[in-house]
Every structure is written in structure tokens, then in C-alpha cells.
Amino acid sequence: MLDDEMLESLEELLIASDMGVDTALRVSANIAEGRYGKRVSAREIKELLAAEVARIMEPVARPLPLYPKTPQVVLVVGVNGSGKTTTIGKLASQFRAAGKSVVIAAGDTFRAAAVEQLQIWGDRAGVPVLTAPEGSDPASLAFDAMTKAQAEGADLLMIDTAGRLQNRQDLMEELAKIVRVIRKKDPDAPHNTLLVLDATTGQNALRQVEIFRQVADVSGLVMTKLDGTAKGGVLVALADKFGLPIHAIGVGEQIDDLQPFDPEEFATALTGLEA
């Protein structure tokens, strides 16, 4: 029977999946509505839960929009270790495979490893990667990359950025400068600002969205490291709180492991957790 005890255990289960207290309570309340005190099986609860999760997630499941005007500038932000650089490599590879011409700017100039990683992805995908000497100004690299993308008639320019959150002011100024500089070439750029989040960081991902929305005009999310994590509930919390589109999810290391976000599939996987 759906009683207080059952609701409480449902809430605990949802909170354990990293959905966060607010969202977990809201989801539980929606499921209980009109059913309180009635006989429901564990199977039915799971089905109701999956339907509710899919309902919340459906509006945010949107691929990265592509615009007719080129080059489309995609600024990619996120903390170090979020899978940002890998995501750029995978997206560039996928766009390339779809017949788009892509230029990558390795704008995380303070991390040699990030630059090398992008060069490897670029070589694999046949995508040019613009680099600058270590520690040089990422804004001037972004400007050069924009110039090249325009001159070559590229469809997409993807710009990697630093992920240092220790000094937020510096990062804010750095991102603002990149935006200022590329707007000299195209007043509408960047056309997308993607925030890459590591799903395993759980509730911390909400905090990162808040911080990055202060420093950049975040237009959509890519969630990484969703393979083998029971912590997927954070996506529900993100959708519930911010409503930002989730353009793709990363479920592994291969190029094809960056996939479109499917709300039904996600809801089924999330609620497959044994109640």
C-alpha cells in the first residue's frame, strides 16, 4: 500500500540516486497524488517513477542546434577533469563524420595535456587544431581560430577553455575576453556555450552550473561519465532546477560513446535500481 512508510523509502531511494532533496520530494509527491492509501505494487511504483522522470527530462532532451550561418562558434566550458576536452574531440569527430567542416581551438593554453589530447582527437578525426604556446593568451588564439574558420568557410569552430575554478575572477575575465574578441568577427558569437559536467560529482554539478552561468552564458549541457553510475539522478535535479537542454551524454571513452540524450531510456535505467 502507498503509505507514509513507502513514500519515505521512495524519497530515500531518489535522494540516494543524487536527485537532491527538493526534486526527490517533488517527484514523490507527484507519484503519491491520487494514489495515497491505495494498493500499488513495487513494479507499478517503478513504472510511475519512470514515467515521471521521463516527463521531467523530455523537455531538456535536445540535440545541439545547428544554424545555417557559418562558422557556428561553440564555446565549451567546464572544470578540469569533467571530460571537457574529450567531449570536444568526440563532438568534432561526429560533426566531421556528418560531413561538417570543423576547426578546434585548444584554448586551455595552460594545460599542455589538454592541448595534446585535442591534437590526438583532431588527427584521428581529420580536424585542424589550432594551438598557441603554453600559457599564452587564449583570446588571441580564439581570434586566430575565428579568422581561420571564416577564411576556410568552416561550418563549426569549437573553442576549449580553461577549467580553473580556484580563481573565479580570473576565469570570468578570461572567458569574457574570449567572447569580446570573437564578437569583433561575429557579433552573434558564440552561438552555443556548452557546459560539460561529470555526472559522478552528483550534487556538486548543480553548484557548477550556478558558477558557470555567472561567468558564461551557458546554453546547454553535456553530461559525461554516465557509464555504470547509479548517480544519474543529478540529471533530474538539473532539469528540474535549471531546465537547460542536455545535448549529449558520455558513457565511455570511444567516439561513439557520446550519445544523444534519450529521456525514456534514461528513466528506465535510473528506475531499474532495485527498490
Per-residue pLDDT tens digits for 160-210: 999 877 677 888 899 999 999 999 999 999 999 999 999 999 899 999 999
Q: Please state the CATH superfamily assignment of the domain spanning residues 72-259 in this structure.
A: P-loop containing nucleotide triphosphate hydrolases (3.40.50.300)
130 bridge partner residues: 105
From residue 172, alpha-carbon distances to 7, 81, 99 in Å are 43, 19, 34
Residue 275 has pLDDT above 50, yes or no: no
The pLDDT score that the predictor gives to residue 167 is 73
Q: Is 69 annotated as a binding residue?
A: no
Alpha-carbon span 145 to 104, nearest angstrom: 8
Q: Is 114 annotated as a binding residue?
A: no
Alpha-carbon span 133 to 1, nearest angstrom: 65
Q: Is 81 annotated as a binding residue?
A: yes
pLDDT digit string (tens) for 215-229?
A: 889 999 999 998 765
Helices (H), the chain: 4-16, 21-32, 42-57, 84-97, 112-125, 138-151, 168-185, 204-215, 233-241, 263-271
Q: How many residues does the structure list for the chain?
A: 275
* Mean pLDDT score, 51-59: 96
The pLDDT score that the predictor gives to residue 164 is 79
* Mean pLDDT score, 227-255: 88
* Mean pLDDT score, 224-242: 86
pTM for the predicted model, two decimal places? 0.93
Specify whether the CB–CB gap between 118 and 89 falls below 8 A.
yes
Q: Is 162 annotated as a binding residue?
A: yes
Alpha-carbon span 81 to 71, nearest angstrom: 28
Q: Is 225 annotated as a binding residue?
A: yes
* Mean pLDDT score, 44-69: 94
Q: Residues of the chain with pLDDT > 70: what percent?
A: 97
Specify whether the CB–CB gap between 200 and 193 falls below 8 A.
no
Q: Is 23 annotated as a binding residue?
A: no
Q: Is 163 annotated as a binding residue?
A: yes
Q: Is 227 annotated as a binding residue?
A: yes
The pLDDT score that the predictor gives to residue 272 is 81
Residue 97 has pLDDT above 60, yes or no: yes
Name the DSSP letter for residue 223: E
Q: Is 79 annotated as a binding residue?
A: yes
* Mean pLDDT score, 228-256: 88
Same fold, 4-60 and 72-259: no
* Residue whose C-alpha is closest to residue 85's, from 54, 44, 51, 120: 120
Q: Is 108 annotated as a binding residue?
A: no
Q: Is 80 annotated as a binding residue?
A: yes
Q: Is 70 annotated as a binding residue?
A: no
Q: Is 216 annotated as a binding residue?
A: no
Q: Where are the domains of the chain?
A: 4-60, 72-259
The pLDDT score that the predictor gives to residue 230 is 60
Bigger pLDDT: 30 vs 275 = 30
Alpha-carbon span 69 to 259, nearest angstrom: 25
The pLDDT score that the predictor gives to residue 273 is 52
Which fold would CATH assign to domain 4-60?
Four Helix Bundle (Hemerythrin (Met), subunit A) (1.20.120)
Q: Is 87 annotated as a binding residue?
A: no
Alpha-carbon span 238 to 259, nearest angstrom: 18
- Banded pLDDT at 274 (limits 50, 70, 90): very low
Q: Is 226 annotated as a binding residue?
A: yes
The pLDDT score that the predictor gives to residue 166 is 67
Q: Is 257 annotated as a binding residue?
A: no
Q: Is 136 annotated as a binding residue?
A: no
Specify whether the CB–CB gap between 198 and 224 falls below 8 A.
yes
> ∠ at Cα 161 (156, 167), nearest 5°?
160
Region of poorest pLDDT, from 160-164, 198-202, 235-239, 252-256: 252-256
Task: Give the phi and the psi of residue 28 in degrees, each rounded to 5.
Answer: -60, -45
pLDDT digit string (tens) for 103-144?
A: 999 999 989 999 999 999 999 989 999 999 999 999 999 999
State the average pLDDT for the chain. Answer: 92
Bigger pLDDT: 228 vs 252 = 252
